[in-house]
Amino acid sequence: MHLSGLQIRHFRNLVDQQLDLPVEGVAIVGENAQGKTNLLEAIYYLETFRSFRGSRDDKLVAFGEEFFRVAGALVGRTPGEGVEVAAAFQVKGKKKKITLDGDEPERLSDGLGRLAAVVFSPMDVTLVSDGPGARRRYLDIVLSLNVPGYLGALQRFRQILSQRNAALRDGRMQGTVGSWDEGLVESGARVVEDRLRWVERWQEEFSAYYRRVSGTLESRLQYQPGVRLEGATDRGPIADAFRLALSESREREARLGNTVVGPQRDDLLLTVTEGDIPRDLREFGSGGQRRTAALALRLVEAATIRKARGQEPIILMDDVFAELDPGRSERILALMEEEETGQVLLTVPKESDIRLRRDSLPRWRIANGVLEW
Ligand code: ATP
Ligand code: MG
């Protein structure tokens, strides 16, 4: 699938416009603050119905306007294959509306993931340098979009967790708190199982990508569960381990007024091995090493889409080569050229920064939120 048409209304600084995008993609050249990232943000909104920058929906509405709307026409290889995804948000009443070919799906989540896109952004380094929440968010997005049933389990888990935490905070009786346990364990075990499986499935690819880009060191991706699993890998034994961990933490959670074990405490451990010693990239990584690990996570995300959805991901690349040394950026380019990717939409501040598909991508310009070609 590729994005063939894009219609934008009142999104950030972008002027209302209708764009026809080439099947191979486009390189968008524009100075700072002209709307390059805003455009990629608008496009990726059609994948997750959220800002990839973590902005709230009302911040996306152009200053002084009441709503925004983005619509994208996706076209497949075979005639008739394709869908129009549209998303609109109205400030008043905070109303969000998603449509697929004009019809509103029963649940918003039914519309997720139609674009099959991955964003590469300089902000990705926060995946490595920020706290565990950033990496859980990454996992949750990748798994929600690619593993059927994951999002439902995660939502169930979060809802039960917040009710259970409210009961703990109020200092309610053991019996009341305990009444949430079975639901928490059941939904949480599913979340843990999917996260564990995914990491096991992709950790070698992660290391291979890191090695290719860095040219030297070994890096590893490991799952660090917030429940001691004692080797459990299937849902039943994971649930047993979770149940046991809960029963062992009764006193601590009553004291802290919070559920202290569970996937809400999960993390992904990213290490680089120097002289046989694995070191946490978050604590010890250089800027370039962290960026490389973040790139490897995005490459794994793209590979997950390829595998799970059987389609080439659309690559949205927001000026990411800028901060890598020449060796690393050459190698990542070579890798990206080799990987099977579909459409590539990339943004750069100046023409000479276009490196990926330099000879084949048409060039557009953006200034003050207006695209020109
Ligand atoms: P850089 O090269 O610096 O990353 P960019 O081209 O990616 O720049 P964007 O982040 O896309 O820039 O756009 C920034 C501009 O968008 C800023 O001038 C900002 O004031 C404007 N902007 C952000 N949100 C809104 C909004 N809700 N309404 C109108 N303009 C907005
Ligand atoms: Mg930008």
Nearest to 343 by CA among 316, 318, 365, 321: 316
- The residue whose CA is least distant from atom 23 of ligand 1 is 12
Task: Decide the pairing of beta strands 82-90 and 67-75.
Answer: antiparallel
pLDDT score at 360? 83
Specify the domain boundaries for CATH 3.40.50.300 within the chain: 1-116+311-373
Distance 108 CA to ligand 2 centre (A): 28
pLDDT score at 186? 98
**For the chain, percent of residues with pLDDT exceeding 90:** 84
pLDDT of 11 > 80? The answer is yes
Distance 354 CA to ligand 2 centre (A): 15
In order of 79, 118, 298, the CA distances from 356 in angstroms are: 29, 16, 16
Q: Is 369 in the pocket of ligand 1 (CB under 6 A)?
A: no
Q: Is 38 in the pocket of ligand 1 (CB under 6 A)?
A: yes
pLDDT of 340 > 80? The answer is no
pLDDT score at 338? 85
In order of 8, 89, 116, 143, the CA distances from 313 in angstroms are: 22, 26, 5, 15
Q: d(Cα 341, Cα 24) in Å, to the nearest integer? A: 10
Q: Is 349 in the pocket of ligand 1 (CB under 6 A)?
A: yes
Read off the pLDDT of residues 180-209 as tens digits, 9 standing for 90 and up.
Answer: 999 999 999 999 999 999 999 999 999 999
325 pLDDT band, cuts 50/70/90, is: confident
Task: Decide the pairing of beta strands 277-280 and 25-29.
Answer: unpaired
pLDDT of 352 > 90? The answer is no
Q: Which atom of ligand 1 is nearest to the CA of 65?
A: 28
pLDDT of 337 > 90? The answer is no
pLDDT score at 200? 98
Ligand located closest to 36 CA: 1
56 pLDDT band, cuts 50/70/90, is: very high
Both tokens assigned to 321: 């080569």
Q: Average model confidence (pLDDT) for the chain?
A: 94
- The residue whose CA is least distant from atom 4 of ligand 1 is 32
Distance 15 CA to ligand 1 centre (A): 12
Read off the pLDDT of residues 209-225 as tens digits, 9 standing for 90 and up.
Answer: 999 999 888 999 999 99
Q: Is 51 in the pocket of ligand 1 (CB under 6 A)?
A: no
Least confident of 66-75, 157-166, 313-322, 334-343: 334-343
Both tokens assigned to 119: 């964003």
Does domain 1-116+311-373 match CATH 3.40.50.300?
yes
Q: Is 64 in the pocket of ligand 1 (CB under 6 A)?
A: no
Q: d(Cα 312, Cα 310) in Å, to the nearest integer? A: 7
Fold of 118-310: Glutathione S-transferase Yfyf (Class Pi); Chain A, domain 2 (1.20.1050)
Per-residue burial over 196-224, b = 16 or more CB atoms within 10 Å of its CB, e = otherwise: bebbeebbebbbebbbbbbeeeebbbebe
Ligand located closest to 29 CA: 1
Nearest to 138 by CA among 198, 92, 186: 198
Q: d(Cα 99, Cα 317) in Å, to the nearest integer? A: 26
- The residue whose CA is least distant from atom 25 of ligand 1 is 12
- The residue whose CA is least distant from atom 16 of ligand 1 is 13
Q: Is 48 in the pocket of ligand 1 (CB under 6 A)?
A: no
Both tokens assigned to 160: 């039960």
In order of 31, 33, 62, 72, the CA distances from 366 in angstroms are: 8, 10, 17, 19
pLDDT of 53 > 80? The answer is yes
Nearest to 193 by CA among 161, 233, 241, 225: 233
Q: Is 12 in the pocket of ligand 1 (CB under 6 A)?
A: yes
User: Sign of torsion, CA 220 53 19 5?
Assistant: positive
Burial class, 315, CB count within 10 angstroms (exposed 0-12 / middle 13-18 / buried 19+): buried
pLDDT score at 216? 81
Q: Is 259 in the pocket of ligand 1 (CB under 6 A)?
A: no
CA–chain centroid gap for 245, Å, is 30
Q: Is 121 in the pocket of ligand 1 (CB under 6 A)?
A: no
Specify the domain boundaries for CATH 1.20.1050.90 within the chain: 118-310
Q: d(Cα 279, Cα 281) in Å, to the nearest integer? A: 6
Distance 206 CA to ligand 2 centre (A): 26
- Global pTM reads 0.96
Q: d(Cα 362, Cα 354) in Å, to the nearest integer? A: 11
| Residues in a beta bridge with 223 | 268
pLDDT of 353 > 90? The answer is no
